[in-house]
Amino acid sequence: MMLLSLLAPALLGLSELPPQKLVRGRCVTFLWTRTESPVRIAMVDETARTMRLNRGRQMVDIAQQGPNFYAGHGYMVTLTLGFTEREGLAGGTLVDGGAMRIEVPSGEAVVVPVGGMRACQ
């Protein structure tokens, strides 16, 4: 099951998102796969109302279309996230569990278990 979670995004053309910088005045949620070796899979920018993915070697930002739903560049993504405050974590919360459903126009879809962190600067 872990192997499928790791490979599923790649089957839809997605690859690991390179490290991203948090821009001052913005709140973002960084998401990674919940696998033995986590892979950064997305960055949600609450201020810009976009989700950043890495398709091959090109980063793409897809627009928020509704609560926890993003679409564009041939992807439709639905997020289900649970957040937990942690003592000592200033300016952020942890994504302690969640799922990222990724669908392409052909109807193929995968659901990837995700974790992450929400941070504001």
* pLDDT by residue, tens only, the chain of 121 residues: 443 444 556 656 788 899 898 888 899 999 999 888 888 999 999 999 999 999 888 999 999 999 999 999 999 999 999 988 877 767 788 898 899 999 988 888 889 999 999 988 8
Q: Which helix (H) or strand (E) holds 11?
A: helix 2-11
Q: Is the dihedral of CA 99, 77, 67, 25 positive or negative?
A: positive
Which pTM was predicted?
0.86
What are the residue boundaries of the structural domains of the chain, listed by start?
A: 2-19+26-116
